[in-house]
């Protein structure tokens, strides 16, 4: 046992030297946990931010001025007064995403209960901003009109006082979610690519034959590649959480990072085993890339990071429960966002460990068969 552990350790150090000598793969690791995470967090915005707004105020009343003043940062830029004849040209040029047109006698008609029309022109080529901004504009206008009517004797109090409390992400900031999801997706991607590339690289360079004539077993070769590549990814995850997520993006992490890293290590046994399994099938790096697309992309898309598992068809969500990526996303969100402890996430840890153990056994069996065929 000690000799086998020593062999696995020294073969792993050889694997690390080989990995750090491949500048392309090292560049991919650095990019995936820095630039890719930052760009995903900041460019895939799902909230309204600094939307351009113009106003045509044909009423010039107290109510119209109050409505205009309610459109404020950070959701909307300062409203710009324009004339009615400028609406078409400015919308066509893309100068404004929203143009609010308040008709004449708007305040008088509201007080008389005539339900006057108020027009909001929206440039829907900015699709996300258009959808969110329309909802925000409707809410702002209704709130200001209700406040104004509340001062009159004819106002009727609302039947329900709705109070909304948003937990774990009070401002519904996309970066808080996307930054961690970017790290999770990178873990799956790199674990598969690095482990698979390690085996394909041995085959392409002809060094697999050298390993086979040494007094080492296929199990020792496989485990050395698993721990070496998993170590690189685990270190990169820790650096990304502290430096990129907390330091650069200023995303608060509520839970225990060491507990999360314990789950990451369990998941890496599965993901690196998938990479080795694909490496036994692929004969070149292009083939490995195609196999990665077929396996890893559906895992990431259906794991619950992009869309909730509950929103998927029943048969598909049932299948995805057998994927460790689904449990990985579940306990990552629970720990990092909600501050869950081991007493909450241990079922996901057990599921990941169990599935990873089964797939690792299958991978080792496949690896022995592939190595045996290579040696023959």
pLDDT digits (tens, 9 = 90+) for 262-287: 999 999 999 999 998 898 888 888 88
Residues 197 and 139 in one domain: no
Q: What is the reported pTM?
A: 0.75
Residues 192 and 275 in one domain: yes
Backbone angles phi, psi at 54, to 5 degrees: -120, 155
Average confidence (pLDDT) over 356-376: 75
Residues 282 and 335 in one domain: yes
Residues 68 and 181 in one domain: no
The answer on pLDDT for 12 being more than 60 is yes
- Distance between CA atoms of 57 and 66, rounded to whole angstroms? 11
Residues 137 and 195 in one domain: no
The answer on pLDDT for 146 being more than 80 is yes
Residue 190's pLDDT is 92
The answer on pLDDT for 155 being more than 60 is no
Residues 262 and 320 in one domain: yes
Cis status of the peptide bond prior to 74, with omega within 30 of 0: yes
Give the burial class of 45: count Cβ atoms within 10 A of its Cβ; 0-12 exposed, 13-18 middle, 19 or more buried. Answer: middle
User: In this predicted structure, which of 115-124, 178-187, 361-370 has the lowest mean pLDDT?
Assistant: 361-370
- Cα–chain-centroid distance for residue 231? 22
**Would residue 161 count as lying in a domain?**
no
Residues 206 and 142 in one domain: no
**Would residue 155 count as lying in a domain?**
no
**Helices 324-336 and 342-375, packing angle to 10 deg:** 140
**Would residue 158 count as lying in a domain?**
no
**Can you give the residue range of the structural domain that contains 69?**
53-150
The answer on pLDDT for 290 being more than 60 is yes
User: In this predicted structure, which of 60-64, 76-80, 218-222 has the lowest mean pLDDT?
Assistant: 218-222
Residues 29 and 81 in one domain: no
Residue 307's pLDDT is 73
pLDDT mean across residues, the chain: 85
**Would residue 369 count as lying in a domain?**
yes
322 confidence band (pLDDT: 50, 70, 90): confident
Task: Name the more confident of 49 and 76.
Answer: 76
**Would residue 159 count as lying in a domain?**
no
The answer on pLDDT for 59 being more than 90 is yes
Residues 145 and 205 in one domain: no
Residue pLDDT, tens place only, 217-250: 778 888 888 899 999 999 999 999 999 999 998 8
**Helices 257-281 and 218-239, packing angle to 10 deg:** 140
Cross-strand pairs, 98: 53, 122
Residues 183 and 202 in one domain: yes
Residue 363's pLDDT is 85
Task: Name the more confident of 360 and 370.
Answer: 360
Residues 6+ apart with CB under 8 A from 54: 79, 80, 81, 82, 86, 87, 90, 95, 96, 98, 99, 100
Residues 39 and 67 in one domain: no
Of 115, 150, 185, the last residue of a domain is 150
Residues 125 and 72 in one domain: yes
User: In this predicted structure, which of 16-20, 144-148, 364-368 has the lowest mean pLDDT?
Assistant: 364-368
Which domain CATH number covers 112? Answer: 3.40.1710.10
CB 317 within 8 A of CB 310: yes
Average confidence (pLDDT) over 119-125: 85
């Amino acid at each position: 046992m000690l000799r086998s552990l020593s062999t696995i350790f020294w073969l792993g150090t050889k694997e690390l030297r080989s990995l750090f000598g491949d500048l392309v793969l090292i560049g991919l690791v650095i990019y995936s946990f820095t630039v890719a995470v930052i760009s995903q967090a900041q460019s895939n915005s799902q909230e309204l931010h600094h939307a351009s707004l113009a106003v045509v105020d044909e009423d010039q009343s107290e109510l119209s001025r109050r409505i205009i003043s309610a459109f404020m940062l950070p959701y909307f830029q300062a409203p710009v007064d324009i004339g009615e004849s400028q609406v078409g040209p400015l919308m066509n040029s893309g100068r404004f995403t929203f143009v609010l047109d308040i008709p004449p006698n708007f305040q008088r008609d509201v007080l008389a209960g005539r339900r006057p029309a108020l027009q909001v022109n929206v440039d829907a080529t900015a699709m996300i901003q258009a959808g969110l901004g329309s909802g925000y504009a409707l809410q702002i206008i209704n709130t200001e009109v209700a406040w104004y009517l509340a001062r009159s004797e004819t106002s009727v109090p609302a039947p329900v006082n709705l109070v909304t409390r948003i937990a774990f992400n009070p401002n519904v900031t996309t970066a808080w979610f996307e930054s961690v999801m970017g790290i999770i997706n990178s873990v799956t991607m790199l674990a598969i690519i690095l482990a698979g590339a390690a085996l394909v690289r041995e085959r392409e360079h002809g060094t697999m034959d050298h390993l086979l004539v040494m007094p080492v077993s296929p199990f020792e070769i496989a485990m050395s590649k698993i721990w070496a590549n998993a170590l690189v990814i685990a270190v990169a995850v820790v650096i990304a959480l502290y430096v990129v997520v907390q330091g650069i993006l200023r995303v608060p992490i509520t839970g225990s990072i060491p507990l999360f890293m314990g789950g990451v290590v369990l998941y890496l046994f599965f993901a690196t085993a998938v990479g080795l399994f694909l490496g036994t099938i692929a004969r070149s790096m292009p083939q490995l890339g195609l196999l990665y697309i077929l396996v890893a992309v559906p895992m990431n898309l259906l794991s619950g990071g992009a869309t909730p598992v509950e929103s998927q068809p029943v048969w598909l969500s049932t299948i995805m429960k057998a994927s460790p990526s689904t449990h990985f996303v579940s306990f990552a969100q629970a720990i990092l966002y909600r501050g869950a402890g081991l007493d909450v996430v241990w079922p996901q840890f057990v599921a990941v460990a169990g599935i990873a153990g089964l797939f690792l056994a299958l991978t080792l069996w496949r690896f022995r068969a592939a190595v045996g065929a290579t040696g023959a």
